[in-house]
Amino acid sequence: MSEMNIKEALCVDAACSGNPGMMEYRGVHIPSGRVVFHFGPIKGTNNIGEFLAIVHGLALLEQRGLSMPVYSDSVSGMAWVRNRKAKTTLERTEETAQALDLVARAENWLRTHSYRNQVLKWQTEEWGEIPADFGRK
């Protein structure tokens, strides 16, 4: 990281082998580098993983009464959270049902909760890879 100094924040990221493919996501506490949550792999898409990671982070922070921001490098994931709706075209199959059920649950959480945490864009070009990155590029 260049001149960035984040005191207290959570960052999230997703990875997907193929698209759709085996998708997973995680949240990392930026100052300590500790993995706070990890989910997957399940069949899904990268955008679904990014969306679920942000909502998972927001729900966890709300549950723990923490007001720190959530950083994501996903423009799509952040837009889906803002709109409280995932614009996925993933077809429902036996393999993708779990991911799509989680999307519906996340959308419902966003409709029924008002979170105070900021969702901020990780500036990859300026700061380097997001600490939650899976390193598979």
pLDDT in tens, 24-57: 999 999 999 999 999 999 999 999 999 999 999 9
| Contacts by residues 2-8 (CB-CB < 8 Å, ≥ 24 positions apart) | 2/126, 2/127, 2/128, 4/123, 4/126, 4/127, 6/30, 6/31, 6/71, 7/31, 8/68
| The pLDDT of residue 137 | 61
What does pTM read for this prediction?
Answer: 0.95
| The pLDDT of residue 136 | 74
- Average pLDDT over the chain, rounded to whole? 94
What does the pLDDT average to over 18-27? Answer: 96
Q: Are 23 and 45 in contact (CB under 8 A)?
A: yes
| The pLDDT of residue 2 | 40
What does the pLDDT average to over 8-23? Answer: 95
| The pLDDT of residue 4 | 56
What does the pLDDT average to over 6-19? Answer: 92
| The pLDDT of residue 7 | 80
Q: Output the CATH code of domain 10-127.
A: 3.30.420.10
Domain boundaries, the chain: 10-127
